[in-house]
Structure 1
Amino acid sequence: MTTELFEGNTFILYLLFVLSVIIIDKFNERQKMAVIYLCTYGMSFQEKASCIQLCILLAIMMFAIQEYFTLDRKKLSIFHKLHYKLADFLYMSIFQYKLWLVIFALVLRDRMWMDAGWMTESLGIIFFLLSVTLFIAALIWMFNVPEVFYSISHIYEEVWNFPYYNADFGSDLLWRLYIITEFEDDLIWDRQKAYTTASLEYVKVWYRNRYLSGEESEKEADAQRGRVRMRDIILFCKRMKGHLHGVLRRGHSTIPMQLIRILSYRHGLVFNSTKNVRFKKYKLFKRKVYEWIYARMFFEGLKNYLKLELGNDLLDYKAYLVYLYPHIVQCTIDGITYAPAMKAFRDDEGKVLPMHEWDIEKVYKMAYGFNGETITEKKIAEKRKRVEERRGFKE
């Protein structure tokens, strides 16, 4: 009776197998993916199996496993929008699980190649060997990916150690937040929704603040009305080329991008200054793409989630992200590293002071210390003058 029930129902058997794999607690994520890949690739040796259909089935199952059958509960709540789930699935499938390489191997196993008029026995053997090689390479590459990420639930817990409702966003706190952004992300207050440098809003705000003032603002207004001269277009392209070079080579990460980087990476984080790293440019590229995608998804998703949970409009959410920064990111002051930076501000009993009570002079030193810059009185005086001119805060 059981044999008759499952006879010819390959999809049901495949589904049951996948479900049995994902509930095995002793396997990590990569081991589970490897077993599913092996099962799927093995099915390509059945005469009736269509490798193209197997590719589609594998992609659908992987998407469902990563985005809906996950044990990461906060991921389900924060990445609740479909395009967030698709972006997460594509990044993980391409860079972490090498799904694209497995699909390529399956496509080479499809019978359409064997039925082609130009196919010979020798070419058939080459296609088979190439398919097997690609599949083995995908497994080896997947298990050797150095980047390991924390779960969204873990990231949420790290953030929520400093809940939104515990911060008093008064003038004393804002003063300290403005100092931090003057060093780390001075455009954050001018942006509405842009969490990363890879957004049209960020480019507009950056370009306006960097290059447009007075008569040039009138040119921008003319451009918006369609009166754009070729000279202006060429100038814009040159400036954007220089900016993109800085983004890719020197970082230029926004505060949300830096936060998601520090909070997410469990292992394998690579910086420009990191030495003796193989495929360093590729790993930096992967890291930057991760920041671009996940900074917006996580912090926008978190905002929507907290609005429902707290019943609050979160009008100071932008300030909250800056408030999180010294509570999560480390800094170096007078040769001493504080991880995170808030540990530099303690009272006589050793307890960390509320941020609105932090010493202003030391906040300037902390802001320089995020990048490990040499701190001098002249530098602090220059930054203090800039903050006073732009924000109106004076001691």
Structure 2
Amino acid sequence: MKNISDFLSNNLFEFENYPCECQKETIFDAPSQAPHFKLKVCSLTDKEPLRFSYSVQKGLNQSGNAGGVISENILGQLLSLPTGNIDATISFLEKYGFLFPISDEQYEAIDDVALLAIIERVKATVMLMSAIAGKRDYKKMFICTTYLLYSDPVKLELSSSVYSTANNHAFTELIRSYNIMPDTSRNQEFFENECISVWDTISQSYQKVYIDELAGMGMGDGISGIPGSRDWHFRNLFALYTNYPSADENLRTTIDFYYNYQKRVGVIKNIEASRIIYHTAPKRENFSDDMKEALVKIAKATISAEINANLRGISPQFNIETLSPSWKLSTFLEALYFSIFYMKPGIELYKECENPNCKHDKYFLINATVTNKKYCCPACANAAAQRRSRQRKINK
């Protein structure tokens, strides 16, 4: 077991949280409707506080009073939570405490949909970092970036605070609100050629937008030959592409990328944490190198904005006892994002264990250059080897 001096010198930050109690009420509104849940939580401040620390190459861990590790790879455990599984999420929160400070005197009602969405945003941020590090996974990069930018803003109201993602990304707000089409009544180019020119940062050239496209989008009929172009989000994207003045380079690239991608590959119909659904079969062959280059740029900007938005409450302070700098964290969610903050892009990434029956750390932190490590632990490697051996015997 580590001694205290080693513990303090090897950890980049520490945080304390209290365990919590979660009660789930299942509500049935109608026979034909799926049930929904009402979650109530309460902080157990009469229990010993849970201590967390972050160390290089080991990530966020729960530690004991003497510095020994009680539970490793907490971020990896969160990544392993099945999407939308409220029971697994409750187990995680009861073990490590709630994401935010909550009352210890009475139960607080929690919006389960908002809670699950917050968890998914953490997972999407980590997966996006891993998609960029090492060998680039453009499909995962696109899904995670789009999920973070296009998903509805999350708002979780608590007795002592309100958490919201509404201001995390400018694009998220604009794609929902901006619908002003270009005014062509005094445009000389439109008068002469029935088109307008738009500077496109993806092609690095002026692109012509013709009268039939302008008229179709202006009247809500969409663009002929582009299924889904009547959807409100594509209409707003068209308005942003053709008419929104932006000096923000990242925002302009984001607008241009999504317009080019959806016009050339396919218009997005629905966005989930793990997949994108299109109006028609996407033409993936049109996903060009210039769009991939833009996607990497957008993904990096999205990660930066998402992490920075969740670190606003963290402040530096000087520890009198150890005469060393430290960080003051207010919430468990900040600790999770701070552990992402300390990940080294291109050096560290989270990888999913390839043992389908993994009972350990399904997602584990590895060096990005270690491309041949498939399993989180020797037990999973042995289980996979035994399974392959049995399969070979069956196939003989």
Note whether the superposition's TM-score is higher than 0.5: no
**Bigger helix share:** 1
TM-score, normalization by structure 2 = 0.25
**Bigger strand share:** 2
TM-score, normalization by structure 1 = 0.25
Structure with larger Rg: 1
